[in-house]
Structure 1
Amino acid sequence: MPSSNPLPPKENALFKRILRCYEQKQYKNGLKFAKQILSNSKFMEHGETLAMKGLTLNCLGRKEEAYEYVRRGLRNDLRSHVCWHVYGLLQRSDKKYDEAIKCYRNALKWEKDNIQILRDLSLLQIQMRDLEGYRDTRYQLLMLRPTQRASWIGYAMSFHLLGDYKSALNILETFLDQQQKGNNYDYEHSELLLYQNMVIYESGDLKQALMHLESCEDQILDKLTLKEILGELNLQLKQFEKAAKYFEELIRRNPENTTYYSKLIQARELTKPEDIVQFYLSLADMYPKANPPKRLPLNYAVEEQFRNLIDNYLRQGLRKGVPPLFVDIRSVYTDKRKVEIIEQLLLQYTDALKKIGKFSENEVNNGPKEPASCLLWVYYFLAQHYDYLQQTEKALMYIDAAIEHTPTLIELFVTKGRIYKHAGDPYEACKWLDEAQSLDTADRYINSKCAKYMLRANRVKQAEEICAKFTREGVSAMENLNEMQCMWFQTECALAYQRLEKYGEALKKCHEVDRHFSEIIEDQFDFHTYCMRKMTLRSYVGLLRLEDVLRGHPFYFKAARCAIEVYLHLFDEPLKDENTEQELNMENLAPSELKKLRNKQRKARRKAEQENAQAAQAQVKREQYHKSKQQGDIEADAPQLDELVPEKLAKVDDPLEQAIKFLQPLQNLAQNRIETHLMAFEIYYRKEKILLMLQSLKRAHRLDAANPKLHTCLVRFCRVLNQNKDGLDPIVKEVIEQEKVLLFNNKDAIQLNRDYLDTYCNSLEAVLEGAKMLYYLNPKLQSTALGLVTNLDNKYQDVNIKVCKNVLRSLKKGDFGQCDSQIEEFMTRCQTLFLHAVDFRSSSSTSVCESNHVPPDQDNYSSN
């Protein structure tokens, strides 16, 4: 790179060696050569050498020195593109991409055609999704390097990402026309054609996409993708015969892919259930070893035909001993009649297998007996069947029979644990998962499942010890799981700490999950050049689009929801300063009690000092490790993030602002979940932001106007408006008046709540929220409100563990005022309904449990 302040030949040769050492990661040698130049009194303030020394120091982890040298170099030579470029690289290494882009633009002012700077700038622009800037930079690169394939592809892709399909296609066609034509087409050329077809398809010109694909068929090497796209295009263009032909070929190639079957049904225009069943039966004869043609017709068959098909399917699965057989057919449980047929068949199997060793007593003389294990798998299926139907006692009876039959089968203990989990006893569930884990300590799945159940039972330390069997030695399991981005563990951990009221620890886990998502977004940086070079263009576009919506993932949603709930709690009930509280208590203590307290405080201080010493020792070891890495000339990692200290997180000054940081990604990427907008309302309600409250309510109302939690928010908002009606800005008042018709139907809070209770009187979940608002609006109606939720009348259609736990939580929280006697009565009623649920037991009967905190709601009956 030509310098704005050139060095003499000898020093210039040394400077080039510094550049070469940097590229080859020989950082120590680079510093030696820089020292030789800077030791000369004539060049001791040479800007570009100072900048390169700073860049080299940054790679050795000496960040403060690096910034000092680079800034000093820049001050000495503000017109040097090298100094600006180096400063940009330094900012980029600290993930300050906006600042790095400014530096690169300054560098280009003094060296506008520098290819390396333009490439680095384009990488940052696509990373930050500055698509218009990216397009302009790629155009400059194309003008400078028109013979390079990446120049054309990058420019075309910039238009594609901006939605200008016509320009993107023109560039791709021009580039392809320039290529030498021959018969030796490679995979990269094939991928380029498929990418071109993707652009045509997204432009909406399906006919042109089909014509293009058919004309390039011989040049495309990925025949599977080719046939899938051809089939899909013909299907969308309603060329059903051609589409059917392609999907028949795909089924022949892979008869286990269920998507191909559904596409073929569309291509053959089958709509009647009996025709679809016949279609699957014909394919079952053609592909006797394939499972989908046997399983999928169960979704459409009815009555006697369903009985015959499910009978054959169940017998085959039970003979083979297929553990996930119930999970496989669980989707048909939405039809009550089908559930009855399945139950009848299974009970018939049980009786017949016990008596004659066959599935039916009518087959006494037909062939040999079934394997002895068949009865075991029937018991296993029936246990899951009754568990799904929430008939806990029957489920336990059958799983106990299965364990008695074969006490070494791990799946039986896992299922027994799951039954107790669904019955509301996480401690018993944890016990049976621990038993399952002890049967095979080398099974990572069972190990993870056991850890998850332990966390649900608030046994965090035990869960960590279980996970330690599969984590790296020499590092604590919790730390290693964080390194491996094991987010299911961290989210469950956060929820456990939240239930244990260890709010700092819960927030630490939530922030760790948030950092994982930030790291995943940063990790895409390396793919910007790799994908362009390797021509994996369709996958690259898919990656960019995935990264744009990454924080809409369920893992992030769970962690964000937990963090927001904790921050709201900390705003409502800030943690008290222990020292102040102790000083207040000491004034009222007797001398003997004061002495005991001081001894206790002395022991606590000594223990804290030991823990601090251990932490300091661990920090020294970490620093030595990083130092050894740097001495080994290994490039330094990303900037070290601030340590997450639970105590600081729990005593944050602005909990609502911290909650908003977690909320904003959800508002952009989880707009279709009503919980997002309800959480937003709770935050803005506490911040007293009326228009933002209104916005949240409107969005929630659009998704589910009848949601019980939304009703609570509406009533409270109505009360806020009444309290502030005289102090509102006229414009704000006008906006609210326009929206009140949609949200409140011109009713006041009392009328709104009364109508809601009348409309949804059959739902305990809805009545709970209505009753809470009844007491909120008029505390004198406490007995009426309590009567609505504590009398579990038969009129309620949703009396289950989840809803009853919510009622109990509201009663204990004080949503209905002081009501100790009603709480006891309600718990007694629930205990008779849900025998195994620990939340409804008295404190004396739950003393065997490790914690009395409410476990998470488990309203689904999945295998999780």
Structure 2
Amino acid sequence: MRDLSLLQIQMRDYDGYRETRQRLLELRPGQRASWIGYAISWHLLKDYEMALAVIEEFRKTLNPKPYDYEYSELILYQSSILEEACRYQDAINHLQKYEKDIVDKLFLEESRARLYQLLGDTSSSAAVYRKTIEVRQKIYSDVLEQQPRASLPKKLPLTFLTGDMFRDHVDEYLRRSLRKGVPSLFTSLKPLYTDSSKVSMIQQLTTTYYRTLIDKQLFHPEDTIESNEGELEPPTTLLWTQAYLAQHYDYLGDFKQAFHHINEALDATPTLPELQMIKGKIFKHAGNMQLAAQHLDEAQAMDTADRYINCVCAKYMLRNNQVKEAEAMCQNFTREGASAADNLNEMQCMWFQTECAAAYSRRQQWGDALRHCHQVDKHFTEITEDQFDFHTYCLRKFTLRSYVSLLRLEDVLRNHRFYFKAASIAIKIYLHMHSHPVGDETSHGESNPSNLSASELKKLKNKQRKAQKKAAEEKAAAEEAAKRQTTADKNNKASGADADSEVSKKSDELLPSKLERCADPLEQAIRFLVPLQTLCSHKIESHIFAYEIYSRRGKPLLMLKAIKGGYNLHTRDPRFHVCMVKFLIYVRAASNLPDSVKEVLDKEMSSIYNNVTPQSLNNKFLDDNKSSLPHRLAAAQAMYYMDQSCQTAALELACSLDNSLSGITIQNCSEVYASLTKQDFGECSEKMDSYKKSCHQLFPFSSVFSPEPVVEKPSEEVVCNGVNSGHHDPLTQHEQ
């Protein structure tokens, strides 16, 4: 019976779970797990009255001891059920009645304040919150007195102080951290950068430090040696000030100033790994992942025992599509005797796998990318299965509130960002595979080599050679998998077990060659889409993916559902606007829809579109967002989709880089350039070249718009740990 109840709660069969727990209670009424399990079953069914009645009967049988944690947890669990039942006053009375039995006094006061607020009694809520603040102030004062060198008590006031008080406190915090040489100083202050006034004060202080440290080796022009405890600031203070300013200007997008300060710091101390990491991060934000990965590689070579630098270096390599190099980098900290990819898969290292999937996708190695996406999906399935052991553990340990929270977390597990990223990559790949099936990539010209020029024929041969090499690698992998299958079958016959065979079959299912040649890509895309529609409906991407999939399957009602879901988010997302225009055109052009479908479409679309034409819808969208670059791109794409004779107007609209426009960033301009490359506006090579040149002038460090690879010229060579770690000046090429 107990095993049956565990299976029922695992499968979320709450009705069956309640019946089984009731029978267990009847069989073993003396066990507390029987009472608690039965109460939780009613709670999960949202029958709060029965849950409270069962818990109250069980509570009467207990004899609490002083400082009894389990009894305290039971009281707080009752309070949480009352709160869920919207019986806020009863919950307050319950907490007040058993206040002496509750161990966690701070949580008690916070719960009471929250309940008063839910009742609308703001004065009582404020009074309780003041009481909790006083308690925290005492704790804060005690920590500050006992740990005067601790940085956290000094940083916390910066989040709420303003004006001169903020300036004084941040001045003290900056001086102390720069003097100590804290590498994470900028990271700790970055949350303050949402307030422009605080950013301005921080910039004013740090630039003053920088100039005065160069002139006088002091922080401020008015400082003296006597006021500075009789000492000048050490040279490292200037070094960390330069490092902070480099990160500060990098965050603000002023890459020239950022490179200026980080290069000065590297000139003084070229062997400090943190400086190389900062420079790599600046290159990443400036749009050049190749040089970013190069500097992280240099930083890692300076401190090969640092796991964090190793991970960041691997991530940058993956962003630069260097998958094999990233795996070799991770091999330094993975289990010996196994490949880094397999070991990281066993450890469910999902950041690595999502980055690998994105890198393979950019390299158009669809099978390898999908393999990593499916591995991430399996991790979430395994995490869901792993909760099985906690059903008995939590009841035994009496962590009731945490147990209910765990069950609810598992129900929405796939709204995690790792799953969303993996699912997004997989859906995009399956959509591409539906439009361009593997094996049909060759164009008509490629199938007739006699029609190609010498250069085109050379490119075709290189492409065929790469395809043959990839096919050979996949064949070798398939043969290796077959060998493992044969070995596993032999072992199974000898031992009578089939576990290894199951593992081998699962690994065989994730062969890249099979994944990229699936029979129905859209069906596989829907498999990843369903959790997004259920758990990530607040994200516009979920509805865009749904529309793109169902539009290819010709499902007008499901397309309408996606449009309606995105419309209800009240978003002005430019990508969703293109979907709305396409759907309106599709419905107007459809002539063979059943009458029942037409009736539903007419009724629902009238409230969304207000009977406008596609042209009017696009014009209104453009008028409302004419100063935004991403919205202009969407309007231009919709314009060309409606009428291909408007190519010139659409290109002018999308490619404008006027100073009055907002959103002119590397990412947005890269999306415009990618749209031109994919021929969303037809053949426009001349416009694409001119746009690339214009963007190169705006973003000279970005490799996307550079006419040739951006290469740093070494200004000096430094040998560190046997590794050639040359320091270069990235501004040289662009200032000439």
> Which TM bucket (shorter chain)?
0.7 to 0.9
1:406 Cα offset (Å): 2.5
1:649 Cα offset (Å): 0.9
Q: Distance in 2 between matches of 1:142 and 1:627?
A: 45
Kindly tell me: are residues 605 and 658 of structure 1, through their superposed partners in 2, closer, same or farther at Cα, counting changes over 3 Å?
Answer: closer
Where structure 1 has 5 or more consecutive residues not aligned to the other structure, the ranges are 1-117, 257-282, 849-864
Q: Distance in 1 between matches of 2:462 and 2:701?
A: 42
* 2:696 aligned partner: 831
Answer yes or no: is the 8 Å Cα contact 2:484–2:504 preserved in 1: no
1:227 Cα offset (Å): 5.5
Residue 811 in 1 paired to residue 672 in 2? no
Q: Distance in 2 between matches of 1:625 and 1:253?
A: 63
Residue 768 in 1 paired to residue 633 in 2? yes
Q: Distance in 2 between matches of 1:715 and 1:599?
A: 42
Answer yes or no: is the 8 Å Cα contact 1:235–1:243 preserved in 2: no
Deviations 1:220-257 (A, max 9, x none): 4455655654565566662544443344334544679x
Q: Distance in 2 between matches of 1:527 and 1:598?
A: 53
* 1:204 aligned partner: 86
Q: Distance in 2 between matches of 1:218 and 1:162?
A: 31
* 1:720 aligned partner: 586
* 2:524 aligned partner: 658
Tell me how large the CA RMSD over aligned residues is.
3.5
* 1:366 aligned partner: 227
Report the structure number with the largest CA radius of gyration. Answer: 1
Kindly tell me: are residues 627 and 350 of structure 1, through their superposed partners in 2, closer, same or farther at Cα, counting changes over 3 Å?
Answer: farther
1:549 Cα offset (Å): 0.4
Kindly tell me: are residues 552 and 410 of structure 1, through their superposed partners in 2, closer, same or farther at Cα, counting changes over 3 Å?
Answer: same
* 2:533 aligned partner: 667
- Give the 5 Å matches for 1:675-824: 675-724=541-590, 726-824=591-689
1:841 Cα offset (Å): 2.1
- What SS class does the counterpart of residue 627 from structure 2 fall into? coil
* 2:135 aligned partner: 249
* 2:8 aligned partner: 125
Amino acid at match of 1:189: Y
- Give the 5 Å matches for 1:491-510: 491-510=354-373
Residue 189 in 1 paired to residue 71 in 2? yes
* 1:171 aligned partner: 54
1:166 Cα offset (Å): 1.3
TM-score (norm 2): 0.87
1:439 Cα offset (Å): 1.2
Amino acid at match of 2:395: M
Answer yes or no: is the 8 Å Cα contact 2:265–2:275 preserved in 1: yes
1:830 Cα offset (Å): 0.6
Q: Distance in 2 between matches of 1:701 and 1:319?
A: 53
* 2:734 aligned partner: none
Kindly tell me: are residues 188 and 623 of structure 1, through their superposed partners in 2, closer, same or farther at Cα, counting changes over 3 Å?
Answer: farther
Residue 475 in 1 paired to residue 358 in 2? no
Query: Does 780-789 or 700-709 show the bigger shift?
Result: 700-709
* 1:641 aligned partner: 506
Q: Distance in 2 between matches of 1:551 and 1:596?
A: 41
- What SS class does the counterpart of residue 86 from structure 2 fall into? coil
- What SS class does the counterpart of residue 692 from structure 2 fall into? helix
Amino acid at match of 1:172: I
Answer yes or no: is the 8 Å Cα contact 2:183–2:274 preserved in 1: yes
Residue 464 in 1 paired to residue 327 in 2? yes
Residue 339 in 1 paired to residue 203 in 2? no
- What SS class does the counterpart of residue 222 from structure 2 fall into? helix
Q: Distance in 1 between matches of 2:465 and 2:661?
A: 56
Kindly tell me: are residues 349 and 648 of structure 1, through their superposed partners in 2, closer, same or farther at Cα, counting changes over 3 Å?
Answer: same
* 2:212 aligned partner: 352
Answer yes or no: is the 8 Å Cα contact 1:451–1:463 preserved in 2: yes
1:358 Cα offset (Å): 1.0
- Give the 5 Å matches for 1:336-485: 336-364=196-224, 365-367=226-228, 368-485=231-348
Q: Distance in 1 between matches of 2:55 and 2:342?
A: 48
Answer yes or no: is the 8 Å Cα contact 1:772–1:785 preserved in 2: yes
Answer yes or no: is the 8 Å Cα contact 2:64–2:71 preserved in 1: no
* 1:519 aligned partner: 382
- What SS class does the counterpart of residue 506 from structure 2 fall into? coil
- What SS class does the counterpart of residue 420 from structure 1 fall into? helix
Answer yes or no: is the 8 Å Cα contact 1:659–1:683 preserved in 2: yes
1:399 Cα offset (Å): 1.0
Q: Distance in 1 between matches of 2:514 and 2:647?
A: 40
1:728 Cα offset (Å): 2.5
Amino acid at match of 1:403: L
Kindly tell me: are residues 629 and 462 of structure 1, through their superposed partners in 2, closer, same or farther at Cα, counting changes over 3 Å?
Answer: farther
Q: Distance in 1 between matches of 2:438 and 2:499?
A: 44
Deviations 1:760-782 (A, max 9, x none): 11111100111111111111111
* 2:36 aligned partner: 153
Amino acid at match of 1:822: K
Residue 142 in 1 paired to residue 25 in 2? yes
TM-score (norm 1): 0.75
- What SS class does the counterpart of residue 704 from structure 1 fall into? coil
Answer yes or no: is the 8 Å Cα contact 1:152–1:171 preserved in 2: yes
Answer yes or no: is the 8 Å Cα contact 2:478–2:511 preserved in 1: no
Q: Distance in 1 between matches of 2:43 and 2:387?
A: 19
- Give the 5 Å matches for 1:250-329: 250-253=136-139, 291=151, 294-329=154-189
- What SS class does the counterpart of residue 232 from structure 2 fall into? coil
- What SS class does the counterpart of residue 663 from structure 2 fall into? coil
- What SS class does the counterpart of residue 363 from structure 1 fall into? coil
Kindly tell me: are residues 534 and 566 of structure 1, through their superposed partners in 2, closer, same or farther at Cα, counting changes over 3 Å?
Answer: same
Query: Does 559-568 or 789-798 show the bigger shift?
Result: 789-798
Answer yes or no: is the 8 Å Cα contact 1:255–1:292 preserved in 2: no
Answer yes or no: is the 8 Å Cα contact 1:197–1:209 preserved in 2: yes
Q: Distance in 1 between matches of 2:254 and 2:25?
A: 69
Determine what percentage of the aligned residue pairs are the same residue: 46
Deviations 1:288-318 (A, max 9, x none): 6665664344444444443333222222222
1:185 Cα offset (Å): 6.6
1:735 Cα offset (Å): 2.5
1:846 Cα offset (Å): 7.0
Residue 546 in 1 paired to residue 546 in 2? no
Kindly tell me: are residues 425 and 310 of structure 1, through their superposed partners in 2, closer, same or farther at Cα, counting changes over 3 Å?
Answer: same
